[in-house]
Structure 1
């Protein structure tokens, strides 16, 4: 993508956001709460629900006031779902019997009522609060329920040239895409989930020049890497899950066809079971890793990944 096309694309993105109140296309804005809601249909545990919202830059929604109750009810109804129970961000895991929202609001101050027969604290193990058709019930936090995420609008929220409010994403004129270096190590699957939640994917290397760009990000952040089992490696978007020894990008393209297959010396040997996830060393060479190792990683996203596609009229 040449600079002229990049400039035009950035202008289009800027105009899109200048004309609308938007956080990301999969969130709906509600003026009465001055924020956005998203309904996640896939049931999850409370902790996984919390993690998903956090990765998306939001929090688990809670009925903390009449406006939130109204917005949550409207959003739930707009989904036309038959899922009647969903997690809220209210829990009593810090102090048994005392429920607070993630914002620190106590349940006693919320305009909600207990559902029939609640609370019951079954087996003394119900520390999370679920929304049940407008009422609430205490539930076991390991149960699987859908959930809503909430993002409050703040004065410092600015949509960058990367089409996101996340200021850590930086545009590369070389590829026309944006990149973010994650300094805290995660497993390969956790890293990909993180990137997906941010509207991107684990970085896919399509050329030696792009590898050099990733290496620069690597070098710039090397001293700040934490929770990594190997600081000299970062996860990238490649694997050989389907056919061991045949490495593909997360988009299904063989890495040779994608444009970069420069392995480090003695790699990929894949001699030990589990080394099916791809990494890049700080020497530029590719490396196969055990997928459950925690290492730093780089996410890549297109400029419009969080922007709703506009249908031509």
Structure 2
């Protein structure tokens, strides 16, 4: 007989097997993680953090430059010796008849010295020592073949080419634009104003590739206050495991009660989950800080999800 795993079971098991459950959570949330995408005809290569497209229809250098520009990309040139292998990767994928491509280098100063389309020098030596330039006019361009060898050619000659689009990776690793990055905490937060039970809130954060907020340090405690509404309770990832027992975070850490400001007595009853509330000093026009409360986990309330930002 097959049994389904309820999200409450997942959180409860986390207290006993945090490492194993963390892996399960990662799988559950993976569908919401950021998936790089630019255009369907561009291929993303994670090692270079960029998108590439092999154009098999030959064009001269200027035509190739303009094609890439209209696609929001630039004419490819390898920024390192290793990146030159991108050409072979694209040929293996969908361009087996292509043997060479024109690159984003030009001899604009007629001196045999090439520069990139971005105005910089060639980032690494591409010719052997003693190489004699074949074209020492402004019409000299560089070709790369599938054997990773470079040669010169007239820019008027037509060759296949590659367009490159550099990836702008968001700090928060998710497609959800409602996550707000906090620099000092290196975390991303999302406030859910739609009320849910604690278990539903826990599940929602997991599905978004995040965790129900646990406030691991004083920096987080300070930063999160700017996102909250005064005197509104929000669920956090802390609950009691049994009546009269200690409070634990969903990451398996026991909550130290010393120094915590409680709205009511922290006596833990059955099915108790913790909320936080930002208090505001009307007279001094400033925040007092966060206060906590123990609520029935089945009471629908707003909540906050958090995820670690990209390093």
Band the TM-score falls in, shorter-chain normalisation: 0.3 to 0.5
With normalisation by structure 2, the TM-score equals 0.41
Q: Highest CA radius of gyration, 1 or 2?
A: 2
Q: Which has the higher strand share?
A: 2
With normalisation by structure 1, the TM-score equals 0.41
